[in-house]
Amino acid sequence: MKVGTSQVDITPKPGVELSGFAARTQPSTGVLDPLFAKALYLADGGERVLWIHCDLVGIDRAIVLEFRDWARQRLGLTAGQVMLSATHTHSGPCTIHLHECGLYDPTYVKILQGRLREAAEAALSQTEECEVVTTEGHLDLAVDRRRQASTHTDPRVAALGFRRSDGAFKAVVVNYAMHPVALGSSNRQISADMPGQAALRLSRQLRGNPAVLVTNGACGNLNSPGENVPFTQIEVWGGQIADAVAARLAQAPPTSRPLFRVAAHVFSLPLDTLDVAGIEAFARKALLDKKSLAEWGDKYRRAVEQWRSALVAAAQSGRALDHRDAELFALRLGDVILVGANAEVFSEFTDWLRAGTEQKVYVIGYANGDMGYLPTQAAYAEGGYEVEVAHLFYGGFRPKAGGLELLAREAKALLQQIAG
């Protein structure tokens, strides 16, 4: 298999607003550690894929579509051969639209688009033959922050390595499901959080100092063990992620010429729409939420008003806001299948995909966009932030109950398509 990699710095200058927390005081005041966009290009036979993974909270769908159009014209790649994903660090610039959680930054986005193109061209320009190795570790670090009856975590840490003939690693992909929120809303410095430290640690542990893409799994309900912790704790937790797979990966035997397949699927995910009267009633009720008001104050009030006014205007103009484009992106290497989803999916999703298949399945969250939370039906019954409040910050209607289960059914069909 031919493998190309590159890494470009995407760290903004201090002074940009940081995304992910409504409770944060803006803007940023400094840099704790750099942010990167890491490109991985794979080619085998007639199949190709370009994957760029970024230390960002998410990548707006418009950025994904614009980049894919450039990649088609410049690199000859189809939309189904290009994936952009994010670590979901809550200490990076605003590259998705979240009300009152930092202003979307068009100036930075323009710079980012240039860096993504630079990373892509560099990865395609210097490919070399590599063998594929895979392994899986175990780590009980993430916690279910909801503390409800449906509590669930995913302790698997996956690693895919691309190793040269001399035994040195060219690239590694790591996957672990946990929100990178450990620095918390009190932090005002730019940081890649735990994924950045895990990548740094693993790159130093393996021969070849490979490019390491630390990806997030189905972690919509999963957090780090603590928030507002010092950076030294970030280093420890990031190191634990790396340590869970480092020795196993170094000793893993090569996979016999792996079956390499890529597939993508876009479909309409129905939303829980309201008419004008329903929107107004929901907004009035939301403004009586004492817990949210206590946590976010005027920022919460403004987010509710922005949500109300935008959706009322859309309803009165006849614009249909009854669905979102859900995208699934599947990459198979031997008996490992990575499934990208453009949402914050709950951790049970990965278990559903693993049931009844011989392949090892891992989910890449925040891939090709981020349309918000997709909770389980059980979570809808329980309520909570992800079900009742989060869509106000995302600025749209929440998905209908059963949306995650629908995504799982569509993903199962995609898995069958590339199972071969």
- Burial category of 43 from C-beta neighbours within 10 Å (exposed 0-12, middle 13-18, buried 19 and up): middle
Per-residue model confidence as pLDDT tens digits over 80-111? 999 999 999 999 999 999 999 999 999 999 99
Interatomic CA distance for residues 356 and 294, integer angstroms: 45
Query: Would you say how long the chain is, in residues?
Result: 420
- Rounded percentage of the chain residues whose pLDDT exceeds 70: 100
Q: Is residue 40 predicted with pLDDT exceeding 80? A: yes
Under the banding of pLDDT at 50, 70 and 90, the label for residue 263 is very high
**91 three-state secondary structure:** coil
Return d(Cα 348, Cα 70) in angstroms, integer: 35
Q: Residue 343's pLDDT is what?
A: 97
CB 396, CB 279: distance < 8 Å: no
Q: Which residues neighbour 328 within 8 Å (Cβ) at sequence distance 6 or greater?
A: 264, 265, 266, 339, 340, 341, 407, 410, 411, 414
Distance CA 73, CA 126 (A): 20
Q: What is the pLDDT of residue 97?
A: 96
DSSP character at residue 56:
S
175 touches 222 (CB < 8 A): no
Q: What is the mean pLDDT of residues 253-264?
A: 90
Q: Where do runs of H (alpha helix) occur along 269-383? A: 276-286, 290-296, 298-317, 348-354, 377-382
169 band by pLDDT with thresholds 50, 70 and 90: very high
At 358, the pLDDT band (50, 70, 90 cuts) reads: confident
Average pLDDT in the 401-410 region?
A: 98
Beta carbons of 338 and 330 less than 8 angstroms apart: yes
pLDDT at res. 65 = 98
Q: What is the pLDDT of residue 140?
A: 97
Please name which of 351, 379, 352 lies closest in space to residue 148, comparing C-alpha atoms. Answer: 379
Is residue 122's pLDDT more than 80?
A: yes
Judged against a pLDDT cut of 80, whether residue 320 lies above it is answered with no
Q: Could you tell me which of 341, 371, 365, 339 has the C-alpha nearest to residue 142?
A: 365
Average pLDDT of the chain to the nearest whole number: 96
Alpha helices in 76-217 (DSSP H): 106-125, 193-205
Q: What is the pLDDT of residues 337-349, one digit of tens each?
A: 999 999 999 999 9
Give, to the nearest 10 degrees, the angle between helix 193-205 and helix 231-243: 50
CA dist list (Å): 40 to 4, 125, 332, 379: 6, 12, 14, 35
pLDDT given for residue 45 in this prediction: 87
Give me the mean pLDDT over the 12-33 stretch: 97
Residue 258, pLDDT above cutoff 90? no
Secondary structure class of 41 (helix, strand, coil): strand
Dmax of the chain from CA atoms? 67
- Which residue type sits at 346? F
**In which band, very low, low, confident or very high, does the pLDDT at 385 lie, cut at 50, 70 and 90?**
very high
Q: What is the three-class DSSP state of 185?
A: coil
The Cα angle at residue 134 between residues 130 and 139, in degrees rounded to 5: 140
Whether 190 shows a pLDDT value over 80: the answer reads yes
Please tell me the predicted confidence (pLDDT) of residue 420. 67
How many other CB atoms are there within 10 angstroms of residue 274's CB atom?
17
Confidence of residue 319 (pLDDT cuts 50, 70, 90): confident
